[in-house]
Amino acid sequence: MTSFRWLVQTLVTLGTNSYLLFPFGSVIYQGPLKAVCHPGLNCYSCPAALLSCPVGAVQNFIGSWRMVSAGGLPQLGTMVLGYLGFIGTLVGRLPCGWLCPFGFIQDLLHKIPAPKFNLWEPLRYVKYAVLVILVVLLPLLLIDATGLGQPWFCKLLCPSGTLFGAIPLIILKPSLWQTLTFYFWNKIILLVVILVAAVFISRFFCRVLCPLGAFYSLFSRMTMVQLEVIAGNCVECQSCVRSCPTGVRPYEDPNSRECILCLRCLDACRFRALTFGLRHYAGEPETPDSGPTRG
Amino acid sequence: MPKKAIWLIIFFTICFLLGVNLGDLDYLMNLGNTICLSCIGVG
């Protein structure tokens, strides 16, 4: 399963960033695929990006709500909400574990041999504040003279934008150097901190700061698929806990909001105490051979 | 299948279709076709 996940992460990262004509054209891809959002965090200003960024799209829609011309309707952006909500309800945070290019970068960095540390648990709540404040409230409330809000998460924090968008664009268009502001250097410092932290703490950005992960996690306890514990098989040997990149204890809380459904715990469990499949409705009878389950 | 998930899927599908019909696709494509200055730290 782990090798298969690496393959999927590699293919998705390369496949959704495969516009290779950017040195010869208009710097970034400008085509119909940009009407589709990536399910993970992937900056649409990356010269090779084929898809739009869902977090950037949400902020821009919210930022435009108060800039309504006379008699016009605001562009609500329910399409992106529907798209992300649909994914969240179907599979929860599975895109974080399998499809997100920035998550993949962090997985690669965490392979670097170095001392590994656990995350201080209360920090995981910061991502919900990032979602509410930087993605929703500031774009809605801080508007310029034209009534337009800014994408404050992109502006102040997004490391994917700095790594995949800003740095390649500045290399391709050196004239941009003249226009860089405090925001760029702020984001460069944050990017370095986040990438270094990912070496020592697995999935640091996903667990602490990612607003997309925070949004998907709202659905973790009601997704169509789920991780399930076969209680009779579990001996609480902690193998699943040691293998988990987000510090979840699957045998205690298989539906944890921190679980990115990478399924490394399934590989780690020698007693076949964990399964992954469709969630059972409370009224459904259990299959006779499944044994008592938690999930 | 959990009932709550099915209702949510229906709700989000309606949201998606509503957005498509209100022009979100064009808005998103125009957005994606321009370089995001906030992303690169300009202005």
Distance, CA of A213 to CA of A210 (rounded, Å): 5
Distance, CA of A89 to CA of A216 (rounded, Å): 8
Tokens of A205: 């950005």
* Complex-level ipTM: 0.95
Please list the residue range(s) of chain A that carry CATH number 3.30.70: 220-295
Q: Do A82 and B16 touch (CB under 8 A)?
A: yes
pLDDT tens, residue by residue, B1-43: 678 899 999 999 999 999 999 999 999 998 888 888 888 888 6
pLDDT higher than threshold 50 for residue A144: yes
Phi/psi of residue A260, nearest 5 degrees = -100, 15
Which residues in chain A (124-183) have CB-CB distances under 8 A to chain B? 150-152, 154-155, 158, 161-162, 165-166, 169-170, 176, 179-181, 183
pLDDT tens, residue by residue, A14-51: 999 999 887 777 678 888 999 999 999 999 889 999 99
- How near does any CA of chain A get to the CA of B24, in Å? 6
Which residues in chain B (1-43) have CB-CB distances under 8 A to chain A? 1-5, 8-9, 11-20, 22-29, 31-33, 35-36, 38-43
**Confidence (pTM):** 0.92
Q: In sequence order, which residues have a C-beta less than 8 Å from that of residue A229 and are 6 or more positions away?
A: A250, A251, A254, A273, A274, A293, A294, A295
pLDDT higher than threshold 70 for residue A70: no
Task: Kindly state the DSSP code that residue A34 receives in the 8-state scheme.
Answer: G
- How near does any CA of chain B get to the CA of A215, in Å? 14
Looking at the complex, does the CB of residue A58 fall below 8 Å from at least one CB of chain B? Answer: no
Q: Quickly name the fold that domain A220-295 has.
A: Alpha-Beta Plaits (3.30.70)
Q: Which residue has the higher pLDDT, A278 or A84?
A: A84
Q: Do B16 and A78 touch (CB under 8 A)?
A: yes
Q: 3-state SS string over A88-116?
A: HHHHCCHHHHHCCHHHHHHHHHHCCCCCC
pLDDT higher than threshold 50 for residue A9: yes
Q: What does pLDDT average to over chain A? A: 90
Q: Which of A97-106, A153-162, A265-274, A275-284 has the lowest mean pLDDT?
A: A275-284
**Residue A237: exposed, middle, or buried by beta-carbon count in 10 A (0-12, 13-18, 19+)?**
middle
User: What confidence category does residue A228 fall into, taking pLDDT thresholds of 50, 70 and 90?
Assistant: very high
pLDDT tens, residue by residue, A94-108: 999 999 999 999 999
Among B25, B28, B39, beta carbon nearest to A158: B39
